[in-house]
A and B are shown apart, each in its own frame.
Chain A
Amino acid sequence: MTSSGSVHHEEIDLSPGSGDAAGTRRGRAGDVVLEVRDLSVSFPSGDGPVRAVRGVDYVLRRGEVLGIVGESGSGKSVTSMAIMGLLPTTATVTGQVLFDGRDLLSLSENALNGIRGARVAMIFQDPMTSLNPVYTIGAQIAEAVRAHHDVSKEKALERAVELLETVRIPNARERISSFPHELSGGMRQRVVIAIAMANDPDVIIADEPTTALDVTVQAQIMEALQVAQDATGAAMVLITHDLGVIAGQADRVMVMYAGKLVESGTAEDVFYTPRMPYTLGLLGSLPRMDRPTERLTPIPGSPPSVVNMPPGCPFEPRCPKATDLCRETEPELRETTGPEHLAACHHAESLVGVVADEVFDARVADADTLAKLASEGEK
């Protein structure tokens, strides 16, 4: 799709920060680099198919950070695994993932291997399981380099040192002979980021890259990710449940619920003028560090099972705004405040100027039995 696809493999600049080549060989910022069309994933189960992802569409533009948020089981990770072709063979994947004019879903394993790790790289949550415990980190980074470039071992190791320096690992030259268990969690995640950068990718998919880490280390890793993105000029898909990380990093945000996109827009659209009650509820459930919060507004109930889903909006059972229409027809994503701000809610307009505690009930405990408990306690 880009004019440059064929040039890509001829000249390989192994120096770090070769992102300056991005302007010529990769086209301009704002071009679509990855397009996902009607992606659906289901897994077989004893109770019927588990529809983990249901018709997800999105585009990723060069140089941008696209944040995907959602709670456990919303399908945010499965979406990315499907894009990378990493799901087990039992999974049924339909739709299209267009990268560089080709549909990744229809490529052979061999052809996919030329793209995966080279032009589309992935960073997983747990660096302990994504690194091999029996090889040094230098060997693992060099392996990633040599998988896609015909260079000597020595040259690949040199590149490994440079990459480790880029993600700010101190004493990189000595560190390349360390094993993963000799590094802290934060250092390990930097190594994983270095591997993702190794081949100067066009797209980096980061799946909960900071979730397993302490907050001060989280901040360091987010910095390293930004360095990686700047150095490679890659577009990034940032998958996380942490709305704070999204608020700080993402240019555009997509909210997933029960396998579907339920809201998307710029970070400002989604955080300041949510048009889907689920997003509003999520924001209302967050305790804030920057101001005292009197009451949080939890979303009642829990997410639906994605096996044998009833018709209608998947959020309907938990939604105080739900009507008969919501029970009968599942809403499609549609324009709300602008052409880029989409929400899947029949009643999106009714959320204009509304705050979470006007919609959701903050009270949790049963008042009568609690009062009874209190009076017995006094006796």
Chain B
Amino acid sequence: MTVETRTEGLGPVRTDTLLSVRNVVKHFPIRSGGLVRRTVGEVHAVCGVSFDLAEGETLGLVGESGCGKSTTARVVLNLLPATSGDVTFQGTDLMSLPRKAMRSLRRQMQIVFQDPYASLDPRLPVSELIAEPLRIHGLYDDGGRQQVRDLMKTVGLKPEHGNRYAHEFSGGQRQRIGIARALALRPKLLVLDEPVSALDVSIQAGVLNLLDELQTELGLSYLFVSHDLSVVRHIADRIAVMYLGKIVETGTAEQLFTGPAHPYTQALISAIPLPDPRKERARERITVVGDLPSPANPPSGCRFRTRCPKFAHELDTAQQSRCVDDEPTLTSRDQGHPVACHYAARRELL
């Protein structure tokens, strides 16, 4: 069905590519205080990120806070203008699209936010929250009422609760409202920005299963942004790991979890405790040192070197100088999947 050819670092290029992101850069200005507010520096939030997303596929974008994953998601939807780079959705270049055309294209691409408490208007009843996107795009008069009821039922809410307000629902139910709202316009792409992070595990599982079922039936593509690797392994087909604005490793979920080759991915996987006492207590730990450097002033060469356990403990001075001077690119390096480390080596950690 799909033909795969590989281009270096970009992951598989498929004929059914829905979304294509190339070299996206997003800098935020740092302004001085006072009246003039001169720009005194720049936060390099996203620095040359590229990936593809196929129809019906889920790409997990993982990393810790400040790695640029949410900024990437917003740039993809053109909610934030990119500093440079290209985003192509179904063959249309979003960066040069006029506002009006962008607006109608937005029907195809929707977002679900992390915090279901902050993202729903407290003054609208649920049926209106879900109807709002239909009204905005002039689709409500054509059977909108029934559609809203169907959407509520689909996501596991009772249609008779349509006249209640968001605060009357639990966190999990609110997130379902957010999903129903995003689905109302029958999008092709859902950007899910930490959609289950605010929820308790027993509730989180319900939302994850719902997303699974919706994808199977409706053929949706998901860009799933999360800091939780367990959740990402469960839901994603492919995963891109971000660190300080760059993708450091990408591959299928299977590849990344059975043979992570970048020291950062290894540290991430090794840091997450497994809910299994015997396995957890027998695990090998790879710990990073220190804290995230400032994205306004990232380290030279490899951005991870200041915290890299391999750099600190395994490399000699000559090898280290390569990390300091020479920025590793995201290419295959005989690891079976693209990884941005001069000394990439797969390791089994689980």
Contact = CB atoms under 8 A, between A and B. Distances in A.
A290 B350 contact: yes
B217 A247 contact: no
B268 interface: yes
Given A216-B64, A223-B287, A244-B275, A364 B213 contact: yes
Indicate the size class of the contact surface on chain B: 35 or more
Contacts of A366: 153-156
Given A242-B273, A365-B213, A373-B217, A287 B202 contact: no
A291 B307 CA distance: 28
A248 B281 contact: yes
Contact of B156 (A267, A293, A364): A364
Contact of A296 (B209, B214, B280): B209
Given A215-B64, A248-B281, A288 B275 contact: yes
B287 to A, nearest CB: 6
Interface in B222-245: 227, 229-231, 233-235
A354 to B, nearest CB: 17
User: Is the contact region of chain B dominated by helix, strand, or loop, or is it mixed?
Assistant: helix
B210 interface: yes
B295 to A, nearest CB: 14
A214 B217 contact: no
A293 B257 CA distance: 13
B150 A373 contact: yes
A211 to B, nearest CB: 11
Nearest to B62: A215
A286 B201 contact: yes
Interface string A216-255: 1111101100000000000000000111111110000000
A247 B214 contact: no
B208 interface: yes
B209 A243 contact: no
B276 to A, nearest CB: 6
A244 B280 contact: yes
B209 A286 contact: no
B160 interface: no
Interface string B61-78: 000110000000000000
A31 B278 CA distance: 26
Contact of B218 (A72, A242, A374): A374
B296 interface: no
Contacts of A242: 273
Contact of A71 (B201, B219, B254): B201
Nearest to B220: A377
29 contacts: A184-B292, A214-B292, A215-B229, A216-B307, A219-B270, A219-B287, A222-B273, A243-B201, A244-B275, A245-B273, A248-B273, A271-B277, A285-B204, A288-B233, A288-B275, A289-B269, A293-B234, A297-B205, A299-B202, A365-B155, A365-B210, A365-B213, A366-B156, A371-B217, A373-B150, A373-B154, A373-B183, A373-B186, A373-B218
Interface of A: 71-72, 184, 186-187, 214-220, 222-223, 241-248, 267-268, 271-272, 281-293, 295-300, 302, 362-366, 368-374, 376-377
Q: Please list the 4 inter-chain residue pairs (A to B) with the smallest Cβ-Cβ separation, ordered nearest first.
A: A244-B273, A285-B205, A287-B234, A298-B206
